[in-house]
Structure 1
Amino acid sequence: MKSNIKSLAAKLALGVAMIVTPAAIAQAEEVQLYHSWSNESELAALNVFVSALEAKGHTVVEMSVPHEAAGSSPLAALVAAGTPPNIFLTGQSGFYRDLRDQGIGQEVGSHFKATGAWENFPPKVQEAIQVDGEIVKIPSGIHIDGMLYYNMKVAEAAGVDPTSWTSTADMFADMAKVKDAGYNFLGLGGNSFQAGYLFHALLAAVAGEDIYTRFYAGTPDVTVLDEQGFKDAVALFREIADQNDKGWVNRAWNETTNDVIAGKTLMQIHGDWM
């Protein structure tokens, strides 16, 4: 089985945020912000936007629900009740259709085109931020979870060259060298969403768009479980999980990232929020 390392990012859905009510930005008032971020680096990034809004006279009220605790369930309940937050982060088209049908959605295409942003978005981004032909999403986190990050100092010390890999077979052929040199090979933490993100990336890269779409459809197509591409993605997921170091069970994603930065681990598959 071969899978292209560089294709992990290319086949994933885009994450997007949306500002719901124009009044919330057009004039100073209370702005409700829904998010699931919790660690120090995430909040530091979020506070850049919060500070910019507050500087314009807005009062920002945050609704924070840990990613691990509830996923999108609280947001779904707010949208269904007709009381969505002004700003939220999700790529699921159903939310935007519900807002449109309730008459409380907001298109952002006219703003993007007036400011010149639209023509600078890659075609795949332009496609992903539309729902039923209407531009309603603001691009955010567009690389999501399929990026492979590695520490070249660790690679050089272990005598391997990640830039030469063209398949996962090439990658795993160098694993023994890295571990024999005293480093962890590929870092994975204990959060369930880390395992989920990794599987999303592998299913897209190994099994391809058709199987990925059928598996993650609103009503999953269970026949994909018998497809060879799906079985190959599961096998690769297990191979990555099996090589994990002993400390992975209770390790948060940012701690896993820090192990790569600190030179304890060669690499990590994760998103561009690192």
Structure 2
Amino acid sequence: MLRKALVVGAFAGVGALCTPALAEGERAEVIHIWTSEGESAAIREVVTRFEAAGGVWLDSAVAGGQNLGQTVFNRIAAGDPPTAYQGLGGRAYEDLLAEGLLNDVDATATADGWRDVLPGPLVDVITNDDGKIFLIPINVHGPNWIWYSKDVLEKAGVTEVPTTYDETFFAAVEKINDAGMVGFAVGGQSFQERFLMESVMLALGGRDYWNNVWQNRDEAAIRSATTTKVFETFRRLSTYRDDGAAGRSWPQNTNMLITGAAGFNVMGDWAKGEFTAAGQQAEVDYGCILPGDKPYFIVHADVMAVPSGRDKGRVEAQQLLAHVAMSAESQIEFNLRKGSLAARTDVDTSRYDACSLKGLASYSDPELVVPSVNMTMTPAAAGLWEDLVTEFFNDDSISIDTAVDRLADIVAGSD
């Protein structure tokens, strides 16, 4: 079931919640990368509720997603797994499941009625081959947003806000540059470059093209004129990097918009958590765009996995964590601060801001959503894709024909 594409359909109704029985003081060590200002505020909402329910939270934050996987797998290999760790919904758990190294949270999921309050395709993604829910869904992100500073655009005299990566977009970027500010803020990290590339790919190609490449493995789509246009546009974007781009983190990029130093940035909606933490309001201080001829949305779900182990109280702590993190209260409070959408479909969406409501509208429409690359490709193939993207972005000696050939090989090599 992990290999099923996530295409969100109709939302289900509300299920009852019941608290799992456990001894007081169950300890949960949780490894995660939620360390920015907005992310820290979000995870505190879960921690507070976990501790109020009698648990003891042991925080093990690591810097950067690139370090998360290795940290977790080293701990598991050493026989010292954490109670839970942050991950992405997708195929990265197949080997751990096959080796029996992950527990499930199906008892709590069933008691709390998760299957009634999660979209069916998301349930598929978090369900193992035995039909048990083994991942705790935390949220749903869209990684393909364009963000912009309304103040910067006004100061630069940009009157037409772009809706995709076309001449209107590049004209706006150049106008901001000419006004002495950074038109397009991007950092020199491979995951930033990958999300930028995927945003361009979906915006220019649309849903059918995306699915033909990543789900259907259609070589004709991969070698089409659309792919050439995608790589051309991505290369053009690379020419707008400012001198400070190398190594700049995504929160620093977002802060450039917040402080009026830059006009545009492409990043997932976790960036909205930084705007919120800075006291800025959606569609007042900053704007948000799901680019393309339609507002397409790449589904990128944060989850928690729960490794197996022999220590006393592990399973009880995992079940409590599952209950707390998936409660309606935790879901809405976490995601209001994180910038993401709640995984649950029964939360009070009247509290969502203008950008979250845009995301929710797209996420709710099966014609606008596509699964992330992590959901359709093996971890090895996804890693090769990220390597290709960052090499192409930073080395203009790599031809588009070569890049397309490498993409075709990557897709063909993923089972």
Q: TM-score, normalised by structure 2?
A: 0.50
Structure 1 residues 68, 118: CA separation in 2 closer, same or farther (over 3 Å shift)? Answer: closer
Question: How far did 1:175 drift?
Answer: 2.5
Deviation of 1:271 after TM superposition, in Å, equals 1.4
Q: Does 1:140 align with 2:154?
A: no
The structure-2 alpha-carbon separation of the partners of 1:100 and 1:68, relative to structure 1 and needing over 3 Å to count, comes to closer
From 243, 253, 259, the equivalent of 2:240 is: 243
Measured in 2, the distance between the counterparts of 1:29 and 1:168 equals 54
- Whether contact under 8 Å (2:189, 2:248) holds in the other structure is yes
- CA gap 1:13/1:266 in 2 versus in 1, 3 angstroms: farther
1:266 corresponding residue in structure 2: 263
CA contact 2:185–2:253 (8 Å) conserved in 1: yes
Write out aligned runs for 1:102-251 (5 A). 102=100, 104-108=102-106, 111=108, 115=112, 118-122=115-119, 125-132=122-129, 134-161=132-159, 163=161, 165-206=163-204, 208-213=210-215, 226=223, 228-251=225-248
Identify unmatched segments of 5+ residues in structure 2.
9-19, 272-415
Q: Give the structure-1-normalised TM-score.
A: 0.71
Distance in 1, Cα, partners of 2:230 & 2:149: 25
Is residue 12–residue 204 contact of structure 1 (8 Å, CA) maintained in 2?
no
Per-residue CA deviations over 1:49-81 (Å, capped at 9, x if unaligned) read: 223323333222233332265341232344456
User: Which has the larger displacement, 36-45 or 237-246?
Assistant: 36-45
Structure 2 residue matching 1:33: 3-state secondary structure: strand
Residue in structure 1 matching 2:251, options 248, 251, 254: 254
Are the equivalent residues in 1 in contact too, given 2:173–2:264 (CA < 8 A)? no
Who is 2:73 aligned against? Answer: 76
Report the 3-state secondary structure (helix = DSSP H, G, I; strand = E; otherwise coil) of the residue aligned with 2:187.
Answer: coil
Aligned to 1:33: 30
> What amino acid maps onto 1:174 in structure 2?
A
SS at match of 1:268: strand
Contact 2:189–2:247 (Cα < 8 Å) also in 1:
yes
Are residues 1:51 and 2:53 paired? no
Partner AA of 2:57 in structure 1: V
**Matched residue SS, 2:257:** helix
CA RMSD, aligned part only?
3.8
**2-structure distance, mates of 1:214, 1:131:** 23
1: distance between equivalents of 2:36 and 2:164? 34
Structure 1: tracts of 5 or more residues without a match: 1-10, 15-23, 216-220
**Residue 32 of structure 1 contacts residue 60 of structure 1 at CA under 8 Å; is this kept in 2?**
yes
* Structure 1 contact 159–177 (Cα < 8 Å) conserved: yes
Deviation at 1:243, TM superposition (A): 0.7
Distance in structure 1 (CA, Å) of the matches to 2:247 and 2:101 = 44
Give the aligned partner of residue 66 of structure 1: 63
Number of corresponding residues: 250
Q: For residues 173-221 of structure 1, give each alpha carbon's deviation from its aligned partner in whole angstroms, at most 9, with x where no partner exists.
A: 3332222233322211233332233234334444513323588xxxxx9
Q: Is the 8 A contact 1:211 1:229 kept in 2?
A: no
Q: Which amino acid aligns with 2:140?
A: I
37-46 vs 144-153, which moves further: 37-46
CA distance in 1, matches of 2:189, 2:36: 13
- Name the structure 2 match of 1:20: none
Offset at 1:33?
0.4
Structure number with higher relative contact order (C-alpha < 8 Å, ≥ 6 residues apart):
2
Whether contact under 8 Å (2:186, 2:245) holds in the other structure is yes
SS in 1 for 2:93: helix
